[in-house]
Amino acid sequence: MKRYLVIGAAKSGLASAAYLLDRADTEVILNDSDVTKKEAVEGYFTDKKPQFIWGLPDVAEIKPDLVVLSPGVPPRIKPVQAALAAGIPVISEPELAYENSSARWFGITGTNGKTTTTALAAHLLEGFGAPVFCGGNIGTPLISAVPNLPAEAVVVAELSSFQLELINRFHANAAVFLNLTPDHLDRHGSMAAYGAAKARIFENQGPQDVLIANYDDERVRQMAEKAPGKVWYFSCQTVPPLGMWQEEGRLMVRLSEDEPAHALIDRADIALPGRHNTENIMAAVLGALYFGASEAHICAQLRTFKSVAHRLEAVRTVDGVLYVNDSKGTNPDATEKALNAYERPIVAIMGGRNKGNSFLPLVPLIDEKCRHVVLVGEARGDFIEAFQEKDFHRYSLADDFEQAVDQARLAAQEGDVVLLSPACASWDMFPSYEVRGDLFKKLVNDIDG
């Protein structure tokens, strides 16, 4: 009998435990340090139930054959280090899914744009032939569906650095590396460690696989040069060796040195604003081409794709002011992309929990783009410090989220954009960026107008 220890009882951990319970001759132990979740977690299981351990587990006493670590739990905790020291494998949920899958894999990572690119890639592949499953960091745990997929299926998986740092044999037939900017430094400790975790998405590729990489991101381009398979690039600035680029308003493609470049589609035909979304589009298209979707099918799907919730999501126009929900903008780079997506004056709502980033580099763009900024949450002091250093004074402070939206409404003028793009995590006030974005949408929809 094999004994499995699953650490972390959120979505990923619950799905992993449920899958392992269905295997023959297994003993599953589910652990979480948050005792307040006890009733909900134990109620999740009906027929087969794991053994529950609350608080830090004693790995020496449990003696597991394998540890599955949820992405929200840092590997530095004592039980994980004890397992590694004892030679016990510690893997992530995507690794567990991969090891029990016969499907083909399309993995997508990067600091920003992962969810939009993942959703778009799945949309482009839908209806072309092979079954498609979309999951991972985007929402649905991979282990909940992947083991039942046929070999011809394509798994489109959004993969975070937290999920990738504990892979072993995971192998993406096509892998996207969108960009790399400072984020999650509170967990990884350095940009080098953060980048190394992201780069694991292509480390097990072979000659028939492809890495789809951002040619305009110097860090990504340098990492891509070490890829073991072929590399297709995308660029908004230049013509890359092979891949896609933007030229005179059209998206161009060339995948072989033996073929001429040709236009795929006019950029204006795709309803996703911003240069960053041009990058996301090209990455998703290249992946769809790799898996055999026709250009005609891809273009038809591109024209019908709608933006993903909480990512430059247009909520409503009130009194000539467009309200946009970009709650997924949880770091300065994401907020920079959001600010650059609009040519109209912006009233921005920023703040939350800082993930170890400096806001100083963002201030010149804020000064250029924003009529006013409303600050809310724990990171207000960090923003104020950066604003004062750059002599920026067009901001106000809100005590809560409702007040922040009201201040933004009052500051906005006809023709402006009120943009929620916090540049911070939500955890100081909300359990997730989705809850934050949903409240923003509710408050906006409650505005009289």
Do 123 and 64 sit in the same domain of this protein?
no
Mean pLDDT of 210-229: 97
Q: First-to-last CA distance in the chain?
A: 64
Q: What is the DSSP letter of 425?
A: B
Whether 365 and 436 have beta carbons less than 8 Å apart is answered as no
The per-residue pLDDT for range 358-370, each reduced to its tens digit, is 999 999 999 999 9
Mean pLDDT of 130-157: 94
pLDDT of residue 139: 83
Q: Supply the mean pLDDT for the chain.
A: 95
What the block records as the tokens of 240 is 């890359």
The per-residue pLDDT for range 319-372, each reduced to its tens digit, is 999 999 999 999 999 999 999 999 999 999 999 999 999 999 999 999 999 999
Mean pLDDT of 289-297: 98
392 inside domain? yes
Mean pLDDT of 174-186: 89
d(CA 203, CA 228): 7
Is 115 annotated as belonging to a binding site? yes
Is 37 annotated as belonging to a binding site? no
Select from 42, 71, 91 the last residue of a domain. Answer: 91
* Dihedral of alpha carbons 235, 241, 243, 249, sign: positive
Boundaries of domain holding 10: 2-91
Statement: residue 129 has pLDDT above 90: no
d(CA 100, CA 261): 39
**Which among 289, 262, 313 is positioned nearest to 436, based on CA atoms?**
313
Find the CATH number of the domain harbouring 382.
3.90.190.20
Find the CATH number of the domain harbouring 41.
3.40.50.720
**Number of neighbouring beta carbons within 10 Å of residue 434:** 15
Mean pLDDT of 272-288: 96
Whether 131 and 150 have beta carbons less than 8 Å apart is answered as yes
d(CA 183, CA 195): 10
Assign 186 a pLDDT band (cuts: 50, 70, 90): confident
Give how many domains the chain has, as a whole number: 3
Say which amino acid occupies 378. E
Do 39 and 105 sit in the same domain of this protein?
no
Torsion of CA 250, 231, 294, 160, to 10 degrees: -90
Do 130 and 56 sit in the same domain of this protein?
no
Is 181 annotated as belonging to a binding site? no
353 inside domain? yes
Assign 203 a pLDDT band (cuts: 50, 70, 90): very high
Farthest CA pair distance, the chain? 68
Of residues 299 and 1, more confidence is placed in: 299
pLDDT of residue 448: 85
Whether 357 and 363 have beta carbons less than 8 Å apart is answered as no
**Which among 172, 179, 176 is positioned nearest to 155, based on CA atoms?**
172
Select from 76, 91, 106 the last residue of a domain. Answer: 91
Is-above-0.85 flag for pTM? no
Do 265 and 136 sit in the same domain of this protein?
yes
- Number of helical H runs and strand E runs in the chain: 17, 20
Is 11 annotated as belonging to a binding site? no
pLDDT of residue 394: 98
Do 102 and 79 sit in the same domain of this protein?
no
Is 330 annotated as belonging to a binding site? no
Is 111 annotated as belonging to a binding site? yes
Whether 5 and 68 have beta carbons less than 8 Å apart is answered as yes
Do 317 and 442 sit in the same domain of this protein?
yes
Statement: residue 296 has pLDDT above 90: yes
* Helical H segments across 390-428, by residue range: 401-411
Do 255 and 290 sit in the same domain of this protein?
yes
Do 126 and 272 sit in the same domain of this protein?
yes
d(CA 26, CA 9): 18
Whether 203 and 164 have beta carbons less than 8 Å apart is answered as no
Find the CATH number of the domain harbouring 217.
3.40.1190.10
Is 114 annotated as belonging to a binding site? yes
Assign 449 a pLDDT band (cuts: 50, 70, 90): low
308 inside domain? no
pLDDT of residue 183: 80
Do 99 and 87 sit in the same domain of this protein?
no
Do 189 and 202 sit in the same domain of this protein?
yes
Do 362 and 392 sit in the same domain of this protein?
yes
Select from 303, 337, 355 the last residue of a domain. Answer: 303
Do 377 and 332 sit in the same domain of this protein?
yes
